[in-house]
Structure 1
Amino acid sequence: MSPRPNAAQGTPRTATIPALVRTRVRAAVRRPARLTREEAEARTLTLRLCSLLLQYPDAELTASRAVLDSTVAALPPSPAAKHLASFTAWFTGQEPDALERHYVETFDLRRRSSLYLTYYLHGDTRRRGMALLTLAQRYRAAGWDTDGSELPDHLPVVLEFAALAGPGGGEAPLRQHRRGLELIHRALTDADSPYRHVLAALLTLLPPASEADRAAVARLVAEGPPNEDVGLDPYGSDGSNGLYGDGEFAPPGTFTPPMPAPPTRVPPAPTLHTEGPR
């Protein structure tokens, strides 16, 4: 009988085992666990709540705060539900004009907490335009047509698609842009914005951040997203435009297109069931 090869010698078969294991582990992490009907309904409702709560607090949304609060309270106990309850406790206690000011200051005037996800991955480069097109094509392929009033990478739009299309393909854009979501959460936490609770709720639904994710977020914090001159007036990091602070990222609204449209209105809050998922 031939001697068994030792570990130092190795064989083509044993050499491939670690790579095979890593591949299967990564696939298992990316693939959501099979959910019960009740868990799936709670997850869908949580995603839709996150979408609604991250939209501009116009008169329709602020008028629905009591419904939103009771809907969150009826969610099954979970880390996401706890985070959302912390947010709605603040949200329902603020004056509408104060909510509007806080939203604009948080998401429109602070570059690091922009809600346009492809910016964090592609920055001021031509690749961002292709990423937006790819995302729009994903929506159409799934049979979902947005009204076009907002860019396809606006986080409330991405969240609504995830709620409609389900944990597999529907949540793929969220997983793809996890590092951007981490950065937004960090920026909101640093600014002590209550919106950090909504991002925290969302992150509990995604696979845990890897060491590579954390390293990439640290690089984004230090360096900002990729940058190249695409023929538009660039926003530097010196604050010379008079609106933004030193070291902040250029806002997505300066790229494609220069001015974002008003927030997409997804199914209004009053349609949510206050008794929670069944």
Structure 2
Amino acid sequence: MEWLGRLRQQPEPPRAPSRRHPAPTWREDDLRATWQLVSLLLSYPDDRLLGLLDDIDEALAGLPPEASGPLGRVVAHLRSVPLAALRSDYVDTFDTTRKCALHLTYYAHGDTRKRGIALVQFKQAYRRAGLEIGDDELPDHLSVLLEFGATGDVGIAWKLLNDHRAGVELLQLGLETRRSAWADAVTALRATLPPLDGTQAEAVARLVAEGPPNEDVGLDAYSLDPRLNPHPDDDLSLSDHFDVQGATR
């Protein structure tokens, strides 16, 4: 992705207390590799992606079966369907169906002011790890977040994924309802995450019943200077959220 070329070090602001999440149970190398492949396989199908399928197959051989199995099925689907049909299906699934949105903050906040603030917090989190992304792309896109976790700060990505776990679950439900082949990519991602806790399960149930909030105000807060954000991002350091040395597959 082009935004990786804009990686550069930034001064680190003071940190605030944050919610801790369970430690990963996968080895970090497997976690990063799985996230990288999920990011690729959830991207728009084009000649470049199809040209990477042999390399993806090779990488799958070294992953836990909880990831290699479902991701292998996605690869098989991409090989078996003509590119034009893949592109049409992708747009119909992810771009015209909000129940399968790849933007994680949409599920919790809809198109409300709170979503604008959440997007600012994503951007701040990336900046703290030295990554700047342009205003032409939203930082909560799942492929962007997973690419960041795979190649950058796995601890920050882990926190953001778990903070927005309800969105991951709703994306899975939406894809399964459509019987989409891309559901297997999210299945592999979910295998890397801890079981839902009570708060997350309640959030999923509430959003399934009620849907995202509805407030047609746009995303103006996202364009604000992040320094003006009244809700600074939580402490997102790797060591504060789990013990890397203790993580095993």
Question: Normalising TM by the smaller chain, what interval?
Answer: 0.7 to 0.9
Q: Which amino acid aligns with 2:23?
A: R
Q: Which amino acid aligns with 1:134?
A: Q
SS of 1:193's partner is coil
Aligned to 2:66: 79
TM-score (norm 1): 0.67
Aligned to 1:63: 51
Following TM superposition, by how much is the alpha carbon of 1:82 offset from its aligned partner in structure 2, in angstroms?
A: 1.4
Q: Which amino acid aligns with 2:72?
A: A
Q: How much identity, in percent, do the aligned residues show?
A: 42
Q: Deviations over 1:171-199 (max 9, x none)?
A: 21111110000000011011100101000
SS of 2:58's partner is helix
Structure-2 change in CA distance of 1:102 and 1:256 (3 Å): farther
Q: Are 2:152 and 1:173 equivalent residues in the alignment?
A: no
Q: Is 1:69–1:85's contact at 8 Å kept on the other side of the alignment?
A: yes
Q: Is 1:32–1:167's contact at 8 Å kept on the other side of the alignment?
A: no
Following TM superposition, by how much is the alpha carbon of 1:147 offset from its aligned partner in structure 2, in angstroms?
A: 4.8
The structure number with the bigger radius of gyration is 1
Following TM superposition, by how much is the alpha carbon of 1:94 offset from its aligned partner in structure 2, in angstroms?
A: 1.4
Q: Are 2:99 and 1:112 equivalent residues in the alignment?
A: yes
SS of 1:170's partner is helix
Match of 1:217 among 180, 201, 204: 204
Following TM superposition, by how much is the alpha carbon of 1:166 offset from its aligned partner in structure 2, in angstroms?
A: 4.1
Structure with higher RCO (Cα < 8 A, 6+ apart): 2
Q: Which amino acid aligns with 2:156?
A: G
Match of 1:99 among 86, 110, 129: 86
Q: Are 2:124 and 1:137 equivalent residues in the alignment?
A: yes
Match of 1:32 among 24, 34, 49: 24
TM-score (norm 2): 0.75
The count of corresponding residues between Structure 1 and Structure 2 is 204
Partners of 1:256 and 1:123 in 2: CA distance: 14
Partners of 1:61 and 1:146 in 2: CA distance: 22
Higher helix share: 2
Aligned to 1:196: 183
Q: Which amino acid aligns with 2:51?
A: A
SS of 1:32's partner is coil
| More deviation, 189-198/214-223 | 214-223
Q: Is 1:53–1:198's contact at 8 Å kept on the other side of the alignment?
A: yes
Following TM superposition, by how much is the alpha carbon of 1:207 offset from its aligned partner in structure 2, in angstroms?
A: 1.1
Aligned to 1:7: none
SS of 2:155's partner is coil
| More deviation, 40-49/197-206 | 40-49
Aligned to 1:44: 32
| More deviation, 203-212/133-142 | 203-212
Q: Deviations over 1:112-137 (max 9, x none)?
A: 00101111111121011111111111
Q: Please, which runs of 5 or more residues in structure 2 have no aligned partner?
A: 1-18, 224-249
Q: Which amino acid aligns with 1:64?
A: L
SS of 1:171's partner is helix
Following TM superposition, by how much is the alpha carbon of 1:77 offset from its aligned partner in structure 2, in angstroms?
A: 3.1
Q: Please, which runs of 5 or more residues in structure 1 have no aligned partner?
A: 1-25, 233-251, 258-278
Q: Is 1:31–1:168's contact at 8 Å kept on the other side of the alignment?
A: no
Partners of 2:155 and 2:141 in 1: CA distance: 20
| More deviation, 110-119/207-216 | 207-216
